[in-house]
Amino acid sequence: MPNPEPAPAQAPPKAAYNRMLLLVAGLGGLLYGIDVGIIAGAFPYLKATAGLNAGQLSFVVAAVLLGSAVSTLVAGALADWMGRRSLMALSGLLFVVSIPMIALSHGYTPLVLGRLLQGVSGGLVGVAVPLYLAECLGSRNRGKGTGVFQWMLVFGFVVAAIVALYFSYRVSEVAKLGDAARLFAVNDSAWRSIFWVSLPPGILFVAGSLAVAESPRWLFKRGRRDEALRALLRSRDERQAAEELREMDENAAAEQAKGARRGAGAVEPLLSRKYVIPFVLACVILACNQATGVNSIIGYNADILIQSGLSDVQAHYGNLLFTLVNFFATMAAVMLVDRKGRKFLLTVGTAGIIASLVVVGLLFRRTERLRVDVGAAVQAMAGPAGDLSLAFDAGGARRLLATAGDAGRSLGGRPLTLSVIYSYGGFRSATAVVRSDDDAAAPVQISREGGLPGNRVSAFLSNPFASLQAARSSPLVIENALVTPVPGTANGWLTAAFTFCFMAFFAIGPGVVVWLALSELMPTRIRSNGMSIALTLNQAVSTTIAAVFLPTVGKYGYSAMFFLFAGCTVVYFVTAAFFLPETKGKTLEEIEQYFEKAG
């Protein structure tokens, strides 16, 4: 019995290396989350001190999305050319370089370039890390590794919020002193410090990326079989490594045999079912993931809760609970994904999302069916320059409702909300929802500067068929000005509870499984480029929803959007329940063979 003795000596290094892989995954997710979330905390201080106009500020915020969209498109090709580990290290290095570019910037150009670089880094991380984890982790803990990526991504949002909260207290204390020069200095230091605080995770991610081995699948694909075996042995025992290498050899031999049957130099067409089915599945899952409305529900959660009947303070407490639900539910998903399986979690998660969205939609529908449109009265208030200022307090609400006849008079004597949908040329916008019983609420302000995109790039993304130049001289058109009764506090907390349910079901299912579906389903030959295309589709759906969310809510109400999101999630549920194969415990080669047989 000589064999059992070496196992205890070999296990700790392999366990330590697997923990390092999970650490690198977590740092990659943290960087991705910081990339997206950091600007929200820094923006108020940047706006107060940078001396930029509304268009420039808008582009500074959007630059990350632009950089991410561009880099996502090419990330797959780069991963095939330079390797998965090298691309991770490059993405981390770009993030590290972007921080001093932003934090030390004085002026618009270096700030935008730093933000673009940060976006490029995020796009590369979003492809490189899940791709690397899928190809390096064993079948028993591949789900956990990708789950850690999502968990730390969510934690990145929490870190960004905590850092911003800390600096908000500092700024508020200085503001009480009434010293304008000192307040400016503290604001300027705040947004720069927020970016500096995010530098250490980037450095650690670069160091971690350089400390791990290259993807064994990439090495094997490049003909470096011995190196692939050594990479496998760092995280697996000899039997597991030999088994996976044998499967790679068998797949490669099968591909060569097919090539020989087709003729010298021929390769299997990319439109064969073996490639099309998993690629389409991944694309549907990625598109439906955004079509649940998750980004809009997260981004507008406080507004949703205010509209549902909570006060401003209650809504922000609700938003904090919403964030914590996301964080802890993602933690639970990390522990469950390799036990219960991807298909099970995605099916349960999407079913729960549908139920939660339908209930929230019905809760909003009860009051939104009573709303009245006072657009004509608001249009009459527009100034000759195309601007408008409207105080929506109890008196202002009463005057507006008087123009709506019996329907308006029926809403008298109760708290109300107002949302205005307006346009300049082909560019539509919507005001934030304001309540008539909020004494601290600022008047509704509509201006050409705030209603139009700040530059041609933003204009194209908003409406590729509209002319920004023409819109700058077009009149202000009030399309709708909708007054809606505010339900009671009990309705608000009930709505909050079901948005928490939505977030929990999303985190348990789609939040974690989407990254696994992206990286596990597609065969090795198309995995990297297929992931790039699917993630680009994901971003396109997200951008489209973001563009139409406020105008649609303003015109048709939150209920319409929640019902629409629920309908899209039905497609997601059907895909998960009836078309998605279970990949738990299967090697990538076994998953590839499944689709080979299905074809």
DSSP conformation class of 213: P
Which among 431, 430, 448, 428 is positioned nearest to 386, based on CA atoms?
A: 448
User: Does residue 11 register a pLDDT over 50?
Assistant: no
pLDDT interval class at 12 (50, 70, 90): low
Which among 198, 217, 208 is positioned nearest to 156, based on CA atoms?
A: 198
Out of 3-17, 153-167, 374-388, 427-441, give the one with best mean pLDDT.
374-388
Q: What is the pLDDT of residues 56-110, one digit of tens each?
A: 776 777 777 778 888 888 888 898 899 889 999 999 999 999 999 998 988 888 8
Q: What is the pLDDT of residues 210-221, one digit of tens each?
A: 988 888 888 988
From CA 158, how far away is CA 34, in angstroms rounded? 9
Burial (0-12, 13-18, 19+ Cβ within 10 Å), 330:
buried
For residue 571, the model assigns a pLDDT of: 94
Q: Considering the chain, what is the average pLDDT of its residues?
A: 82
Share above pLDDT 90 across residues of the chain, in percent, rounded to a whole number: 15
Classify 1-215 by CATH class.
Answer: mainly alpha
User: Does residue 310 register a pLDDT over 70?
Assistant: yes
Write down how long the chain is. Answer: 599
pLDDT interval class at 363 (50, 70, 90): very high
From CA 410, how far away is CA 59, in angstroms rounded? 44
pLDDT interval class at 270 (50, 70, 90): low
Instruction: Provide DSSP, 517-559.
Output: HHHHSS-TTTHHHHHHHHHHHHHHHHHHHHHHHHHHHHHH-HH
For residue 461, the model assigns a pLDDT of: 64
Q: What is the pLDDT of residues 531-572, one digit of tens each?
A: 788 878 877 887 778 777 777 777 788 899 999 999 999 999
Query: Looking at the DSSP assignment, which residues form a beta bridge with residue 376?
Result: none
| Parts of the chain belonging to CATH 1.20.1250.20 | 1-215
For residue 4, the model assigns a pLDDT of: 45
pLDDT interval class at 262 (50, 70, 90): low
Query: What average pLDDT does range 392-418 have in this prediction?
Result: 85
User: Does residue 6 register a pLDDT over 70?
Assistant: no
Which among 590, 517, 586 is positioned nearest to 146, based on CA atoms?
A: 517
DSSP conformation class of 563: H
Q: What is the CA radius of gyration of the chain?
A: 26
Out of 56-60, 269-273, 395-399, give the one with best mean pLDDT.
395-399
205 Cβ contact list (under 8 Å, min separation 6): 24, 27, 28, 30, 31, 88, 92, 95
Query: What average pLDDT does range 231-248 have in this prediction?
Result: 84
pLDDT interval class at 502 (50, 70, 90): very high
Are 454 and 54 within 8 A, CB to CB?
Answer: yes
For residue 53, the model assigns a pLDDT of: 64
- Classified as helix, coil or strand, 105 is coil
